[in-house]
Copies of this chain bind each other. A is one copy, B any other.
Amino acid sequence: MPEDRTLRTKRLKMADIARMSGVSISTVSRALSGSPLIPEATRDMIAEIAKDQGYVINPFARGLRLQRTQTIGVVIPLGHGGGQLITDPFFLEMLGRLADEITLRGYEILLSKIAPPKPGWLDRLIQAQRTDGLVIIGQSDQHEALNLAAEGYPPLVVWGAHLPDQTYCVVGLDNVAGGRMATEHLIGLGRRRIAFLGDPNLPEIGQRHEGYLAACRHAGLVYDPKLDAPVAFTARTAEEAATRFVAEHKDFDGLFAASDVIALAAIDALKRSGRRVPEDVAVVGFDDSTIAAHTHPPLTTVRQDLALAAKLMIDHLFERLDEGRPMGTTLPPELVVRGSTVAA
């Protein structure tokens, strides 16, 4: 197995392979790209020499020439709280799924964390021409920037909320339905004082919040802004808010959290404050992360199918790399009932 030898010191270029094969550079180029102009025998001979030598085409040179990079950019804009770190299991799992889909299609993945997004960040990403297309995980507060960029740059797909005036391609859950579903579940269990935990300035959370409000209204519950805290995607703020709810509102008996991480943090805080879950307060999360099924109590949550979501996003992206202009897909939410709302 020649390619298992120790690494040759020199980086080879096509000219080296050409010399070794006794042909010109163009012939090597054509042979390695499988051009029908080159007879099979020559092609195989060159391919073998290249392989033996461990030669790999320099993607920068190739990219410069072809104006294609064989790379998809995966971008995580962190416009809100959560500090600078990518830690929420939701992002991480989505990233893993996207990586699988992109690799499957023979593309490379360039990962960018934008924290915080500064004016022009998306333009710069596009202008740099480092990638053939862009997948944005989460709109954050960048709806306007996305709308502007999408006008002149088709290969862009976003995970997030569907917004009325949006001109870019979005794959996302029906968050209003998800929020309604979660809240109706709590109401159906007889809960009447239902709190909300999550930052509605983020489009997805805003829509989950809408669903929450709609469900409350429909059931004739009074909306109490004191039970509605715009916490970020971090454990700390969620714990503080939950602790405050307990202290200030003895009668609150239900909680809809905008993510599983928030829900877990809140449950911890509730327990510490002496409330039982689900007996005193029933809790619903959002995402159905891997954790949700294993927590104590197991978390009732709204499931997002990230494997499917990632596949759809990349499918759409590749259509857009051609002539297609799919405008996105809305996925149905699914309520997964577990012990945090219904005692086992």
Where the two chains meet, the residues of A that have a C-beta atom closer than 8 Å to any C-beta of B are: 1, 3-9, 11-12, 54-61, 63-64, 69, 71, 74, 84-87, 89, 91-93, 95-97, 99-100, 103, 108-113, 115, 119-120, 123-124, 126-130, 145, 148-149, 151-153, 264, 268, 290-291, 294-298
The minimal Cβ–Cβ distance linking A122 to chain B, given in whole angstroms, is 8
CB contact between A294 and one of B100, B113, B296 (< 8 Å): that residue: B296
Q: Are B96 and A93 in contact (CB under 8 A)?
A: no
Would you list the 5 A-B pairs with minimal beta carbon distance, nearest first? Answer: A296-B296, A3-B120, A7-B152, A92-B92, A86-B96
Given A4-B120, A87-B93, answer yes or no on A110-B113 (Cβ-Cβ < 8 Å). no
Q: Are A60 and B69 in contact (CB under 8 A)?
A: yes
Rounded to whole angstroms, the CA-CA distance of A123 and B69 in the bound complex is 20
Interface SS of chain A: helix, strand, loop or mixed? mixed
Which residue in chain B gives the minimum CB-CB distance to A71?
B110
Given A86-B99, A100-B84, A130-B108, answer yes or no on A7-B148 (Cβ-Cβ < 8 Å). yes
The minimal Cβ–Cβ distance linking A167 to chain B, given in whole angstroms, is 11
CB contact between A56 and one of B61, B124, B153 (< 8 Å): that residue: B124
Chain B CB count within 10 A is highest, among A12, A291, A298, for A291
The minimal Cβ–Cβ distance linking A120 to chain B, given in whole angstroms, is 3
Chain B residue numbers with a CB within 8 Å of A124 are 54, 56
Chain B residue numbers with a CB within 8 Å of A123 are 3, 7, 54
Chain B residue numbers with a CB within 8 Å of A148 are 4-7
Chain B residue numbers with a CB within 8 Å of A93 are 87, 92
Chain B residue numbers with a CB within 8 Å of A294 are 264, 268, 291, 294-296
Which residue in chain B gives the minimum CB-CB distance to A108?
B110
CB contact between A128 and one of B6, B58, B103, B110 (< 8 Å): that residue: B58
Chain B residue numbers with a CB within 8 Å of A119 are 1, 3-4
Rounded to whole angstroms, the CA-CA distance of A296 and B297 in the bound complex is 7
The minimal Cβ–Cβ distance linking A175 to chain B, given in whole angstroms, is 24
Rounded to whole angstroms, the CA-CA distance of A294 and B89 in the bound complex is 14
The minimal Cβ–Cβ distance linking A303 to chain B, given in whole angstroms, is 16
Q: Are A7 and B69 in contact (CB under 8 A)?
A: no
Rounded to whole angstroms, the CA-CA distance of A21 and B220 in the bound complex is 65
Rounded to whole angstroms, the CA-CA distance of A314 and B134 in the bound complex is 26
Chain B residue numbers with a CB within 8 Å of A4 are 119-120, 145, 148
Chain B residue numbers with a CB within 8 Å of A86 are 96, 99-100
CB contact between A54 and one of B54, B55, B99, B120 (< 8 Å): that residue: B120
Rounded to whole angstroms, the CA-CA distance of A199 and B60 in the bound complex is 39
The minimal Cβ–Cβ distance linking A263 to chain B, given in whole angstroms, is 10
* Interface contacts beyond A56-B124, A84-B100: sample of 19 additional A-B pairs, CB < 8 Å, sorted by A: A7-B153, A11-B129, A54-B127, A56-B127, A57-B128, A60-B60, A60-B64, A71-B110, A85-B100, A92-B96, A99-B113, A108-B110, A108-B112, A109-B110, A109-B111, A110-B111, A295-B296, A296-B296, A296-B298
Rounded to whole angstroms, the CA-CA distance of A218 and B73 in the bound complex is 52
